[in-house]
Structure 1
Amino acid sequence: MTTTTSRQAHASDGGRKAGGSKRGLRPANPRSALNPRYLPYGLLLPAMIVIGGLLLYPLVQMIQMSFQKVGLREIRGYPAESVGVGNYQKIVESDLFWAALRNTVIFALIAVTLTLVIGTLVGLLLNKLGKKMSTLVVIGSMLAWATPAISSAIIFRWLFDDRNGVANWVLNLLPDFLSQALFGRSDWSGFVWFLEPAPLYTVLILCVVWQSFPFIAVSVLAGLKSISSALYEAARVDGATAWRIFWKITFPLLRPVFSVLLVLSIIWDFKVFTQLHTLAGGVATRDAFNLSLYSYAEAFSAPPKMGIGSAIAVVLTLILLAVTFVYVRQMVRQEELR
């Protein structure tokens, strides 16, 4: 009887403890917790504030300055005079603007094409190589991509130096008839590459492509790794050539990758500045201006005309936004068709 009573007392005491512990746990207030629907926006808010401060604010300032006359007087603190669309009228009426726009478009067309073609070929090669050799080539290529723009420009300026450059020495080793047929000259001793637009942009294209193709190659390699090898095996069984396999299997499956790489390459090559400024030795060669160097020259050369420089930068930004919009819209349509 005593044992039974003690067991009942122990059970009722345990029940009170259990009940007390359950009463001690307060349920969470659903109203005080952040709605899961808005949680991603809350996490992105700090980054958006930083991006807005670093990118959007300078962009707004640039657009505002493009409608104003901003020179030394305004830099010292005097209020800027509004000129409306006067800055845009001046650059449209300038022959130098159209020459810079032509140089920008032609350079971007050649550089983007060579970058995508060479990067794609290297990516296909990396996919065929063994693991060790592929890793070695990727590391070597990425070192070129990671090289700062000003460092690569200095290297190419040394390579194409008129007195001690390696390029002139190698070209002089070619037979005279071959050099004359290919380049229109047989003697390269003392040839200056950085005074005329054509040879200057030749060096610039080599510099930019050398530094840009590794990113394309690695991106293409990553895309190739996602394609099933069974598709290639079936195509080879059917007797398809390597060219046909690329256009019928690889390219359609990697079309989104190529679209992104194309847009990024256009943006990068349209706004090339550091390499051109370093190779040209400043802003003395006005015939070789692109839009970025033209904007810099107008904004910071004496006397500074930052309003006109801002207007040129706005035009360049609008061109890049238009190109980006066209390709993003095309990608969205392709996704909808799928």
Structure 2
Amino acid sequence: MSTLTEAPEAAAARETPARRRPRVDRLPYLLLLPCLAIIAVLLLWPLGQVVAMSFYKLNNVRQLRGTREWPWVGLDNYVQILGDPFFLRVLRNTVLFAAANVVLTMILGTLVGLLLNRLGKRMATFVASCVMLAWATPALTGTIVWKWIFDDTSGLVTWLFNKLPDGLSTALFGRSDWTGYGWFNSPLLFFAILTLVVVWHSFPFIAVSVLAGLKSVPSELHEAARVDGAGPWRVFWSVTFPMLRPVFGILVVLSTIWDFKVFTQQFVLAGGTQDRTTFMLSIYSYAEAFSPPPKYGLGAAIAVILTLILLLVTGIYVRMVLRQEEDA
């Protein structure tokens, strides 16, 4: 009897590892196929086309339509762009603008998120709904409103400055009549207004994301820190920030990507691509590709360089996250 009962166990022990290999469930991968197909069609294929165009000399719409041959130039477009001093100026504008906007957006969004977390439920819901209106407003619509606010004749800012006493306005700014003043003519003023528009449109998402993260932080930790005598700044830096470090990391990467790719706001405020002193990479790529005479290959090369920069930023963030997980 013992032999009969032990036989199945002995047979199971003699099974090869290949027969005991766990079965792979292919259903999740099959369910992901439609999403992957959509991503490939809407993202990967256009990206591949842009990369391919950057290696050709394309100066005619007929070439894009396939009715004319694409002359192969290899890396000449990249050599021309990277060797142009104007590209370095545009790159500097983009980096400085993105850095300033990321810092301001993160600070303002975090402060608003902390405020929402301290308000009552009804008031927090009301304020969050009002704040999200700015984020939900299309970039084109919001920028048109801001352009009217800074209009040189009937804008709100021009009207307010004209209401200042002449002596005070002259003493502070050197002029008393602001009608006809070009707010967008100076590169410094232009970037200041553009920063205002971008931060206004971006900080609500940061605020709501920080608020969601704060809801996951146990209140006992904050109470314990206050009992130990920690002030608001110490509580945030020693308790809140470490708990929300992954959230802040993702928000910084997303803000960096968005601010590097700012196009609509700049195009509308500048009124096109005439002012090259305020160019950044996105509008520089557009201007090279579509301004007469069109140079689609050069524009594609600039777009590829911008994509590589953003991939580098994302890769650095992913490496930091992985290193933090290993240290933990």
TM-score, normalised via structure 1 length: 0.86
The aligned residue for residue 178 of structure 2 is 188
Q: CA deviation at 1:95?
A: 2.5
48, 55, 63: which is aligned to 1:67?
A: 55
Query: Would you say 1:329 and 2:288 are equivalent positions?
Result: no
Structure-2 separation of matches of 1:277 and 1:111: 17
Q: Which deviations, in whole Å up to 9, do the C-alpha atoms of 1:61-98 show, x marking residues without a partner?
A: 11111010011152352110111111011112223212
Q: CA deviation at 1:322?
A: 0.2
Query: Would you say 1:53 and 2:41 are equivalent positions?
Result: yes
The aligned residue for residue 13 of structure 1 is none
Structure-2 separation of matches of 1:176 and 1:336: 64
Structure-1 separation of matches of 2:228 and 2:308: 48
Any conservation in 2 of the 1:111–1:208 contact (CA below 8 Å)? yes
Q: CA deviation at 1:175?
A: 6.4
Structure-2 separation of matches of 1:177 and 1:44: 68
Query: Would you say 1:237 and 2:227 are equivalent positions?
Result: yes
How many percent identity over aligned positions?
59
Deviates more, 1:302-311 or 1:69-78: 69-78
Q: CA deviation at 1:190?
A: 2.2
Q: Which deviations, in whole Å up to 9, do the C-alpha atoms of 1:100-140 show, x marking residues without a partner?
A: 11111111011111000000000000000001110001111
**1:166-315 to 2 correspondence within 5 Å?**
166-173=156-163, 188-315=178-305
Query: Would you say 1:128 and 2:122 are equivalent positions?
Result: no
Q: CA deviation at 1:174?
A: 5.1
Relative distance call for 1:181 and 1:226 in structure 2 (3 A) is farther
Deviates more, 1:90-99 or 1:304-313: 90-99
User: Which sections of structure 2, spanning at least 5 residues, go unmatched?
Assistant: 1-22
User: Which sections of structure 1, spanning at least 5 residues, go unmatched?
Assistant: 1-34
Q: CA deviation at 1:189?
A: 3.3
Q: CA RMSD in A?
A: 1.8
Return the letter of the residue paired with 2:31: L
Structure-2 separation of matches of 1:315 and 1:181: 47
Any conservation in 2 of the 1:68–1:84 contact (CA below 8 Å)? yes
Structure-1 separation of matches of 2:84 and 2:174: 33
The aligned residue for residue 26 of structure 1 is none
Relative distance call for 1:205 and 1:238 in structure 2 (3 A) is same
Relative distance call for 1:180 and 1:217 in structure 2 (3 A) is farther
The aligned residue for residue 41 of structure 1 is 29
Any conservation in 2 of the 1:172–1:189 contact (CA below 8 Å)? yes
Relative distance call for 1:90 and 1:185 in structure 2 (3 A) is farther
Return the letter of the residue paired with 2:289: A
Query: Would you say 1:87 and 2:77 are equivalent positions?
Result: yes
Q: CA deviation at 1:54?
A: 0.7
Structure-2 separation of matches of 1:113 and 1:181: 32
The aligned residue for residue 104 of structure 2 is 114
When Rg is computed on C-alpha atoms for both structures, the one with the higher figure is 1
Structure-2 separation of matches of 1:324 and 1:269: 14
